[in-house]
Amino acid sequence: MGKPAFVLDAARMFRAMKIASADPSRHFLQGVRIEPIDGGGVWMIATNGAIMLIQRDSEGHADHAATLAVTAPKVEPIFHDDGTFEGDYHWCGAEIAVAALEPGETVAASASWQIGSPSPHVLVERLEDKFPDWRKAIGKPAKRDTMGRKFDPRQDANGGFITRYLDPLIDNRHSFRLHGNLDDMNQMFLTYADDTDSLGVLMKCEIRGEKCQPDAMLTAIGRSDLVAAKTVH
């Protein structure tokens, strides 16, 4: 058997699959974009149009760019009398090795696995190569918010967002930090203390106007000194 076309960190791939779009009309977003990095490693990018996760797999390999969707076989857990059970996947430290694929092709790919993992194989499908230019999506000003309302450029920079957009980006993370995008304050970045090779992007934040401001509560608790000075537009 020759060298695999792709060798990918399994934990990062399955983390990215939680971000990938579930919209059947956007099948090309239902996987993870894999791009080789000059000097070694690969980029892994997943998005559903509202959020995006960018990961660097420093030990990964890709012969070429492709969009891959991975699926782990479903396994019924086995419960023991002592209260323990088997059936969880332990992808930390595991790698998925994939041969070259044509768009639309699905194969069972080998995966190194840890003690307690129920299967050494996953299904890998190569999707059509229509993944958008993800770098240009970062910092691209949005014309409307998540409710379809036009943005008012006179509004103060906002940090509001729908919670369900944030949840997949912080799934099983130890800690994270939010950063405003200086070029487009309707976008926010996430960094992770336990993973410096990942960047989360909230691409659709909301503007909620005065109702979203902390001024009233800060004043009520006696910290009006923290209320931001009003800007006259």
Over 90: is that where the pLDDT of 94 sits?
Answer: no
Task: For 21-68, write each residue's pLDDT tens digit.
Answer: 888 888 889 999 999 999 999 999 999 988 999 999 999 999 999 999
CATH, domain 6-126, list 1.10.3470, 3.10.150, 3.40.30, 2.60.40: 3.10.150
Tokens of residue 105, six digits? 């092709």
Q: Where are the beta strands (DSSP E) in 2-105?
A: 6-9, 32-36, 42-47, 51-57, 61-62, 66-71, 78-79, 85-86, 95-98
Judged by average pLDDT, the poorest of 4-13, 67-76, 126-135 is 67-76
- Cβ 20 vs Cβ 46: under 8 Å: yes
Q: What is the DSSP letter of 120?
A: S
26: three-class secondary structure by DSSP: helix
Task: For 154-179, write each residue's pLDDT tens digit.
Answer: 344 445 666 778 888 988 788 898 88
| Rounded mean pLDDT, 73-93 | 71
Looking at residue 202, its pLDDT comes to: 86
* Domain assignments of the chain as residue spans, ordered by start: 6-126, 138-226
Task: For 127-158, write each residue's pLDDT tens digit.
Answer: 998 999 998 888 655 555 545 555 444 344 44
Residue predicted with more confidence, 97 or 113:
97
